[in-house]
Amino acid sequence: MATAEATADFDRELGSIYSRLLEFRDAPAAGHGDPGAVVQALEAAADQLRGLHDGLTSRAAGLAARQTSVDRERHLMRAVFRDLPFAVLLLDRDGRVRRSNCRANDLLGVSADYVSGKPFAVFLDVADRSSFRIRLSMVLRQGEEQSLSAGLLRNGRRVPTRLALTAVELASDPRPLIAVVAVPDATEPSTAGGFTAAEELLASASAAGGSAPPLQTGPDSDEIRSQARGGDTV
């Protein structure tokens, strides 16, 4: 909003200077070519231009400082997301993977470049893909968290997994993304409280970019939390 107002002010001031210059051009033809008056008018226009330049320079410096702060926070958030001790993927509204952290890539047995842009459903057992798409559609329509049991495919091997889906809004994306947290059913050593950390991360992302429901509703989601806190890992 402030940027739009600044642009409008700039346009008005520039238009005023342009009108003044047109007057200078037409003055000789109209018989009003007093050199002293023209010089004074030009000096006034030059002062306006200097003031306009100083104002734009100051605004540009302020915008650059704010952008630096935003970039720093965004970099920190991405670093935290990347190094989380459990699998998290961010999907677009079509269910394609926009981002995945290191544990998600390890769980799927693929690289970040490989998984990026692919439909998340292709990494699920064929029998579970329809259920996943239904849950994804419900999150998009209702904005409420959904969860399900599904088999993730890792190098052709089925890994029983619990999935929780929730919508999140990020400042860097104009439309909400879908966060998928994956917790394998098989017991493995992990960091206790991992699912709580996921909730805190998503809450931080929501605070930075808009409102988004935390991972907190539904009986299946409670069960996933219980598994994560009790020692299961992703």
Question: Is the pLDDT at 188 greater than 50, yes or no?
Answer: no
Instruction: Determine how many CB atoms are found less than 10 A away from the CB of residue 73.
Output: 13
Assess if residue 76 is contained within a domain.
no
Q: Greater confidence, 12 or 234? A: 12
pLDDT of residue 83: 78
Tens of pLDDT along 4-41? 565 666 667 766 766 766 666 666 555 555 666 666 66
Q: Do 67 and 100 sit in the same domain of this protein?
A: no
93 vs 14, which has greater pLDDT?
93
**Same domain, residue pair 42 and 130:** no
Q: Is the pLDDT of residue 169 over 60?
A: yes
Quick one: pLDDT band at residue 211, thresholds 50, 70, 90? very low
User: Is residue 77 domain-resident?
Assistant: no
List b or e across 30-52, with b for residues whose CB sees 16 or more CB atoms inside 10 angstroms. eeeeeeeeeeebeeebeeeeeeb
Over 80: is that where the pLDDT of 131 sits?
yes
Query: Do the domain assignments include residue 180?
Result: yes
Residue 58 lies in domain: 2-71
pLDDT of 218 higher than 90 = no
Whether pLDDT at 58 is above 70: yes
pLDDT, residue 214, reads 38
What pLDDT was estimated at residue 176? 84
Task: Give 59's pLDDT tier (boundaries 50, 70, 90).
Answer: confident
Percent share of the chain, pLDDT over 70: 50
pLDDT range class, residue 42, cuts 50, 70, 90: low
Which residues have a Cβ under 8 Å from the Cβ of 139 and sit 6 or more positions away? Answer: 145, 146, 165, 166, 167, 178
Give the per-residue pLDDT at 201.
57
pTM: 0.54
Cβ contacts of 44 within 8 Å, gap of 6 or more: 20
Claim to verify: residue 92 and residue 118 sit in the same structural domain: yes
CATH classification of the domain holding 152? 3.30.450.20
70-85 per-position pLDDT tens digit: 666 666 666 667 777 7
Supply 106's token pair: 């390890």
From the centroid of its chain, how far is CA 136? 19
- Does some domain include residue 16? yes
